[in-house]
Amino acid sequence: MRYIENKDNVDIDWALTLQATSPLTKAYDIKKCIKLIDKDIDSIVSVREGNECHPMYLNIKKGKYLKPFQQNIKLTRRQDINPTIYKFNDSIFLKKKNNFKQ
């Protein structure tokens, strides 16, 4: 960023990273992230609903057996889980310049 700022005599405030492993990222989604920029935040990431990996569906290993990660829960259909949980989709990362190591 410093190189570009010096070479082109510009001041970069934010940097956008698009992952090569997400080639189907839409311009619409990038624009939505950019519209979220305001003075109170310093980074934006793209997410998707992640109810299929909700803790109620996770297990931990106890000895040679799997036990529920959360005890005493009522199993629920994924579409009925409240609140909806979100998971990074590793597609779009938007950060203020001062959040990068200099």
- pLDDT tens digit string along 37-86? 988 889 999 998 887 777 777 888 989 988 888 777 777 777 777 778 88
Provide the pLDDT for residue 93. 93
Residue 92, burial from CB neighbour count under 10 angstroms (0-12, 13-18, 19+): buried
**In the structure encoding, which two tokens stand for residue 35, read together?**
């519209």
Indicate if the pLDDT at residue 101 is higher than 70: no
Alpha helices in the chain (DSSP H): 2-8, 27-35
Provide the pLDDT for residue 102. 57
| Average pLDDT rounded to a whole number, residues 25-35 | 93
Domain extents in the chain: 1-49+88-102, 51-84
- The rounded Cα 55 to chain-centroid distance in angstroms is 18
Provide the pLDDT for residue 80. 79
Nearest to 17 by CA among 95, 97, 100: 95
Mean pLDDT of the chain: 86
Cβ atoms of 12 and 97 closer than 8 Å: yes
